[in-house]
Amino acid sequence: MTWWQTIPIFAMAALIYILPGFLVLGAAGVRRLNLAALAAPVSTTIASCTAVVAPFLHLPYTPAVYFTVSVVLALLVLAARYWWTRRGKTWGNLANNGPLNAHDLGRWTAILAVPLGVAFGAVVIAGRFITGFGSPENFSQTFDNVYHLNAVHHIVQTQNGSSLTLGNLTEASRYFYPAGMHDMMALLQMLTGASVPASVNVGTIVIGALVWPLGCMFLVSRIVGYRPVPLIATGVLAAGFSAFPYLLVGFGVLYPNNAAIALLPAVFGLVIELFGLSRMPATSIWPPLLALCATFPGMVLTHPSAMVALIGFTAPVVLGRLVKLFLEWREGAGSRRAVIVWALLSVAYFGAAVVTWMILRPGLGAAPWTPFQSNSRALGEILSSAPMGTTAAWMLAILTVIGLYVIARNLRRTWWVLGVYLVAAVLYMVVSSWPPGTFRTLLTGVWYNDSFRLAALLPVASFPIIVFGAEWLLWRFRTLLEFVSKRRTRKEPSVDGAMADAGRSRAQLGRRYVAVIWVALGVLGVASQGGTLAPVQQRLGDAFRVSANSDLVDSDKLALLKQVDAIVPKDGVVVGNPLTGASLVYALADRQPLAPHIFGERTEKEQLLLDHWDEAAFNKDVCPVIKELNAYWALDFGTKTVIPTEDPFPGLADLTSGSAPDIQVLATSGKVRLVRTTACDK
C-alpha cells in the first residue's frame, strides 16, 4: 500500500473524528473555531461512552451504532435548544463565537486565519509522520505496540470496545483499560477494511495534524482573544515542537497518552472559560460547563493521565479566579461573599486534587524510570522546548523568552498563565533530574516517573507563552514599518497633488503590514522546523522501520506472519512468546494468539500451555487442553525479545531449542518457523 492509496482512509478518519461532534455542537449553536476545535473531543466522548454503554444494551460497537448515536444526540440537543428558546430564554454561547476581530489587518486575513493556520500545521505534521513511518503499514517496533495493535483488532473482532472490560484482551483479565483511542482506530478499520497498522498510522496522523492544532487554537483564543495574528501563529507553530505530537509516537509507543494530550488543550480552554479567566468571557456559565461535560469523558477514557495533568494545570486557574475576585472586592467592584465562597471552593479543589493524585498513582513496581540529567540541563530543555536531549529549538526559545517578558509587563492579568507553565516545568524538572524518592514519586508517579510522558505535556503549557512572544514580535514589525513610512513621508516635498492623502497613506501602510505579517508568519513557521525536529523524525523512522534487525517483528517474522492465515484455520489458536512479537499474529494475520499481550492474567488451562506446550508428546495433561482450546499451532520466533527479561513462557523453550518431539514444520522464513504439534493427533 502507498500513501496515495490511504487518501480514502484519511477521509474516513476525518469523518470519524469530526462529524459526530460537528453535528452535536452545530445543533447546540456552536460556530466557527469553537465548532471545529471541539468537534474531535466531543466525537471521542461519543465513541468511548457508546462503547461502554453498548454491551449493557446488547448492541455491537460498530460504525453504524456510533453514527446513529451521534445523530440521535444531535436531534436531542436540537430539540432541547428549540424548547429552551421557545420559553424565551437565551441558550448562550461560548466566548468568541463571532467573526474574528481583525482590527486593520483586513477582511481576508480574518477569514483565512484559522484555515491557513491549521493547514500549515497539518501539512508539516502529516509530512513528518509520513516520512517517519515510511510505509502506511509499518508499525512501531516497541514493547507497548503488542498491546495497542492487538487491542484495536480485538475491538473489531468482538465488537466490544468498552473501557470497563478491555483489560489485557483475555477473559481472565477483563478489567478497566482506557479504550478511547483504540475505539476510534477500530471504527476506522471497520469502516475502511484497512489493515490494523494502516488504520492506526492514519488515525495517529489525523490526531497530530488536525486535532492538535485546532485544540491549541482554541486554548490560545481563550487566553489572548479571538484575533487573527495569534491564531495563525498558533497553527504555524503547532508543528514546531519535538515533544508533541511526535515524541510519544516515537517512544513507547504511547498511543493513548498521545491521543489524550491532543485533546487536552481544548478541554483546558473550556476550564479557563468556565472559571471566568478567558480574554472574552462566555455569555453565561452554562455553555462552557456543558461543553466541558461533552469533552471531558472522552479525554479521560482515552487516558486518565490527561485528567491529572488538567488538574495540575487548573490549579493556577483556580488561584487566578480567587485573586481576581479579591482584587475586584478591594476595588469596590465585587463582593466579599464571592471571595469567601471561592476561597472555600479553592480549598476543596486542592484537597480533591491531592486525593485524586494519590489514588491514580500506580505502584512503584510500574514506575521504574530514573532521572538522567542535571537541574540546569532540564531548565535549558524547558526554555528551549527541546526535552529529552533533543536539539534546542532556538526559534521557540526566543519566543518563549519574549513571551515571559510580555507576561512580566502584564503580570496582574496573565500571572496565572505563567503558573501553568511553571506546573509543567516543575513536573518535568523533578522527573528528569531529581533523585528517586518519595517526593519525586508523589509528584510524577502518576506518569510512572517517565520523563517522556511529562515532556509531552510541556507544549500545552508553553504554547500560550510562545504565542505571546510571537504576537509581540509581529507587532514590532508594524512599529518598524510605521517608522520607516514616516521617515519617507518627511523626505518627500509638500507640494499640492504630490502627497497622498492621509487615508490613502494609512491604507497603503495597512496593506504593507498585512503582507509583512504573512511573510513573517511564514518565516516563523519555517524557522520553527529547524534543529530539534530532525532527531525526533529520525527516531520515528528507527522505531517504525521493518528490517532484518527489528526489535519486535523483523522482516523474516513479518514474511512468516503473512503466511499464517492461509495455514492456520480461522478458529485456530496460536501459541507464541509475546516478547518476540509472536502475539501480533492477532493484529497482522487475524489469528487468535493464546497470549495476546505480554501481561495479563491467564486461565489455568492457558497457563498450562504457556508452561508446557512443548511437552505434549510426553506430558499427559497437555493434549486435552490443546484439543479443547484448538491450540495445535505455535510460532517459533527464537529467543530475541523486545526488552531484556527472564523468559516467562517456558512452554516454548524446547520448541526454540529444537528438542521438542512430534513437531511438524508448516512454514519457515529465515530462522523462524510456524509449527504444529502432532502429538495430540493420536
Grade residue 360 by pLDDT with cuts at 50, 70 and 90: confident
pLDDT tens-digit profile of 528-548? 887 678 888 888 999 999 998
Give the Cα separation of 396 and 261 in Å (integer). Answer: 20
Please give the pLDDT value at position 499. Answer: 42
- At residue 442, the pLDDT reads 84
According to DSSP, the β-strands at 592-593 and 573-575 are parallel
Please say if the pLDDT value at position 254 is more than 60: yes
Q: What is the 3-state secondary structure (H, E, C) of 101-156?
A: CCCCCCHHHHHHHHHHHHHHHHHHHHHHHHHHHCCCCCCCCCCCHHHHHHHHHHHH
Classify residue 550: in a domain, yes or no: no
| Per-residue pLDDT at 488 | 60
Same domain, 567 and 539: no
**Considering the domain boundaries, does residue 653 fall inside one?**
yes
Ordered strands of the 633-636 beta sheet: 592-593, 573-575, 633-636, 672-677, 663-669
Q: Are residues 532 and 622 in the same domain?
A: no
Query: For residue 498, what pLDDT is reported?
Result: 42
d(CA 240, CA 253): 21
What pLDDT does residue 110 have? 67
Residues 647, 537 within the same domain: no
Residue 294: what pLDDT? 97
Looking at the fold, whether 510 and 628 belong to one and the same domain comes out as no
What is the pLDDT, as a whole number, of residue 495? 45
Helix H, strand E, coil C: the string for 648-671 is CCHHHHHHHHCCCCCEEEEEEECC
| 593 secondary structure, DSSP code | E
The confidence score (pLDDT) of residue 101 equals 63
Query: Residue 71's pLDDT band (boundaries 50, 70, 90)?
Result: very high
For residue 11, pLDDT beyond 90: yes
Quick check: 515 and 109 in contact, CB under 8 A? Answer: no
Residue with the larger pLDDT of the pair 59 and 171: 59
Same domain assignment for residues 7 and 60: yes
Instruction: Encode pLDDT of 213-229 as tens digits.
Output: 999 999 999 998 888 88
585 and 532, same structural domain?
no
Instruction: Supply the DSSP string of 238-257, one letter for each residue.
Output: TT--STTTTHHHHSTT-HHH
> How is residue 467 written as a grid cell?
504565542
* C-beta atoms surrounding 350 within 10 Å: 14
Q: Are residues 518 and 648 in the same domain?
A: no
Number of domains in the chain: 2
CA distance 584 to 637: 12
Residue 485's pLDDT is what? 60
Whether 392 maps to a domain, the answer reads no
Q: Are residues 589 and 541 in the same domain?
A: no
Average pLDDT, the chain: 88
Higher pLDDT, 33 or 111: 33
Residue 320 lies in a domain: no
Query: What does the pLDDT average to over 201-221?
Result: 96
Tell whether 431 is covered by a domain. Answer: no
Neighbouring residues of 171: CB distance < 8 A, sequence distance ≥ 6: 603
* pLDDT tens digits along 577-629: 999 999 999 999 999 999 998 888 889 999 999 999 989 889 999 999 999 99
CB contact at 8 A, 93 and 283: yes
Q: Tens of pLDDT along 340-349?
A: 999 999 999 9
Average pLDDT over residues 356-366: 73
Q: What pLDDT shows up at residue 328?
A: 84
| Residues 540 and 576 placed together within one structural domain of the fold | no
pLDDT band at 497 (very low <50, low <70, confident <90, very high): very low
pTM: 0.94
Task: Provide the residue range defining the domain that includes 81.
Answer: 1-301+506-545
Mean pLDDT of 276-301: 91
Q: Tens of pLDDT along 630-665?
A: 999 999 998 888 887 776 788 888 888 778 888 999
Note whether residue 561 is domain-resident. yes
Residue 70: is its pLDDT beyond 50? yes
Whether the predicted pLDDT of 524 surpasses 70: yes
Whole-number Å distance between alpha carbons of 283 and 30: 13
pLDDT digits (tens, 9 = 90+) for 22-33: 999 999 989 889
State yes or no: pLDDT of 332 exceeds 90: no
Do 459 and 385 touch, CB atoms closer than 8 A? yes
DSSP β-ladder status, 663-669 and 592-593: unpaired
Q: Cell triple for residue 660?
A: 521438542
Q: Among 189, 191, 190, which Cα is nearest to 199's?
A: 189
Which pLDDT does position 40 carry in this prediction? 97
Q: Is residue 121 part of a domain?
A: yes
In this prediction, residues 406-421 reach a mean pLDDT of 91
Which of 488, 517, 545 marks a domain boundary?
545
pLDDT for 88 equals 73
Are 540 and 641 in a shared domain?
no
CB 560 within 8 A of CB 568: no
Q: Of the given ranges (96-110, 198-212, 236-250, 649-663), which has the lowest mean pLDDT?
A: 96-110
- The pLDDT of residue 538: 86
Q: What is the pLDDT of residue 97?
A: 67
Say if residue 104's pLDDT is above 90.
no
Both 529 and 657 in one domain: the answer is no
Which range among 34-43, 380-389, 672-681 has the greatest average pLDDT? 34-43
- How far apart are the C-alpha atoms of 325 and 138, rounded to whole Å? 54
93/185 same-domain check: yes
